[in-house]
Amino acid sequence: MISVILAGGKGQRLWPESRLAHPKQFCKFLDDKSLLENTIDCLMNAGSNKVIIITNDSLLETTQALITSRSDSQMIEILSEPEGKNTAPAIGLALAKCGMVEENSIIGIFPADHYITDIAGFTHSIQTAAKTAIQGFIVTIGITPSRPETGYGYIEKDSLQINDLSNVYKVCSFLEKPDFTTAQEYIKSDRYLWNSGIYIAQVKTLRGEFARYLPDIHKQILKGYIHYIRSYSDLPNISLDYGISEKTKIMAVVESNFDWSDLGSWEVLKTLFENDSAENCLIGKDILALESKSCIVKQADKTVVLYGVDNLLVVETGEIVLVTSREKSQDIPSLLEILQQKGRQDLL
């Protein structure tokens, strides 16, 4: 399988740990490896024979330095977007690079910011998706929800399995991040899965859906990689979800139960780390939470002391200290807009 990792994002919701010059895919939230390194390891362990990383020109040098240090660097190729154009043009970049000679190959699209610990379970789901893809489907991975999560999108699956494939269903619809009440309703039903943002298909199948739904991009893909790069500024700014996934008639989902997290916000980290008796999530070596409860703290250099506070998010990076309510943690992109308006680009 050719595995394409989308690694050009900004990761704004994880500011100030994630910043423009060092976005979240290069950050080490959980262990001594960055999210991008963990994603590459996961895909290699799952049997990928080629990995394509799609980044952008501003992050190219950092990405190259990371890959050069790996023993499997000969299996990894880096492609760089001249400018940000959302996920559909980025994936078109990989399709243009693959060329017609690999049209029967299985290609997988993966975000760079997922954390997966159950490699065996992940590998089984990917193999099931590949078998389904050979039958002409675009396949996504849906995670059986364990809680009423409001930070993830959802997939509504059909009630009938596809052919003789266990846990594989046609997709009825993709749903945006819900409010808490709606998420609770999803949990009560067995029809809704977390949307992992992973897509697997044969190259020719994916290219065919580009031709059907995104013809402006497809025309440039057919002219080859060099032409595609040169015409990048003329491509539409559109996501794969909106451009193809929500419209195609050949979308299937593999229902999966492996341990998975989308590190899209600080709130997710609370589910990955052990909490203390007061439900505080304390990530760092020198944090004191006194008469405080339900806080999230990420500490780097300076000692952090909480006293008599509840439901706070505190992030200390050595350069910046962020203090906000947990309720506002999903709205950090708005904070960054305010900082930009105030001329504080040095903080972004």
pLDDT at residue number 163: 75
Rounded to the nearest 5°, which phi and psi values hold at 179?
A: -80, 175
Quickly tell me which residue has 């943690």 as its tokens: 329
Closest CA to 3 of 203, 288, 220: 203
Q: Identify the helix (H) or strand (E) that includes residue 183.
A: helix 180-188
pLDDT in tens, 32-63: 889 999 999 999 998 899 999 999 999 999 99
Closest CA to 147 of 271, 39, 52, 20: 271
Closest CA to 168 of 132, 195, 206, 124: 132
* Band of pLDDT at residue 29, cut at 50, 70 and 90: confident
- In order of their start, the domains of the chain are 2-264 (3.90.550.10), 267-347 (no CATH)
pLDDT at residue number 159: 84
Among left, alpha and beta (phi > 0; psi -120 to 50; other), residue 279 is left
Cβ atoms of 155 and 167 closer than 8 Å:
no
Radius of gyration of the chain (CA): 21
The SS3 assignment for 23 reads coil
Q: Which residue type does 255 have?
A: E
Please list, in sequence order, all residues whose beta carbon lies within 8 angstroms of the beta carbon of residue 259, skipping any fewer than 6 positions away: 116, 117, 118, 121
The pLDDT > 90 percentage for the chain reads: 78
pLDDT reading at 92 higher than 70: yes
Question: DSSP secondary-structure letter at 22?
Answer: B
pLDDT, greater one: 102 or 136 = 136
Q: What is the full DSSP assignment across 207-225?
A: HHHHHHH-HHHHHHHHT-H
CA 74, CA 78: separation in Å to the nearest integer?
11
Q: What token pair was written down for 228?
A: 């595609």
Angle between helices 35-45 and 60-68 (to 10 degrees): 50
Q: What token pair was written down for 124?
A: 């089984």
Question: DSSP secondary-structure letter at 248?
Answer: -
Cβ atoms of 287 and 302 closer than 8 Å:
no
* Degrees, nearest 5: CA angle 22-272-144: 110
Least confident of 41-55, 95-109, 120-134: 95-109
pLDDT in tens, 270-320: 888 999 999 999 999 999 999 999 999 999 999 999 999 999 999 999 899
Quickly tell me which residue has 């944090």 as its tokens: 287
What is the residue-averaged pLDDT of the chain? 93
pLDDT reading at 134 higher than 70: yes
Quickly tell me which residue has 């794969």 as its tokens: 240
pLDDT reading at 100 higher than 70: no
pLDDT reading at 99 higher than 80: no
pLDDT reading at 8 higher than 80: yes
pLDDT at residue number 263: 86
pLDDT at residue number 112: 92
Buried b (16+ CB within 10 A) or exposed e, 98-127: beeebbeebbbbbbbbbbbeeeeebbbbbe
pTM passes above 0.75: yes
pLDDT at residue number 164: 75
* Band of pLDDT at residue 210, cut at 50, 70 and 90: very high
pLDDT at residue number 101: 66
Closest CA to 298 of 324, 333, 277: 324
pLDDT reading at 257 higher than 80: yes
pLDDT in tens, 137-181: 999 999 999 899 888 899 999 988 887 778 999 999 999 999 999
Identify the bridge partners of residue 343 per DSSP, sorted by sequence position. none
Question: DSSP secondary-structure letter at 247?
Answer: T
Please list, in sequence order, all residues whose beta carbon lies within 8 angstroms of the beta carbon of residue 148, skipping any fewer than 6 positions away: 180, 183, 184, 186, 187
